Amino acid sequence: MLAVPPRATVSTIAYPLATGDAARTGLGHGAAVGLLNGAWAIGMLAAPLGAGALAQWGGPRAAWLTTLSLGALAAAWLLARERRGGPATAH
């Protein structure tokens, strides 16, 4: 029950962004949503497995710090990319 509001928010924001960018590059909306769903599915599979392996190897603190670090790096990359004007679009 607690996970539904954040997921709904992410979906509400992500799908229009993905399909809007897809339209500008000539990729179909269905393909964009499919790629987005595939990326989420891979993340939902890989994240717990990776965190479990890290927790077993270095303890729970190592798993949390690695997860937080990767999230912070991804956020910084996205912010830097946005400030540069984003990826080049096809004309």
- Number of domains forming the structure of the chain: 1
Q: Is residue 72 part of a domain?
A: yes
Mean pLDDT throughout 50-70? 89
pTM for the whole thing? Answer: 0.58
Q: What is the pLDDT of residue 72?
A: 93
Q: How confident is the model at residue 48 (pLDDT cuts 50, 70, 90)?
A: confident
Q: Is residue 31 part of a domain?
A: yes
- Please say if the pLDDT value at position 76 is more than 90: yes
Q: Is residue 69 part of a domain?
A: yes
Q: Is residue 68 part of a domain?
A: yes
Q: Is residue 89 part of a domain?
A: no
Name the burial class of residue 51, with classes exposed (0-12), middle (13-18) and buried (19+) by CB atoms within 10 angstroms of its CB. middle
Q: Is residue 91 part of a domain?
A: no
Q: What is the pLDDT of residue 91?
A: 44
Q: Is residue 67 part of a domain?
A: yes
Domain span including residue 17 = 4-84
Tokens (6 digits) for 48: 């717990």
Q: Is residue 90 part of a domain?
A: no
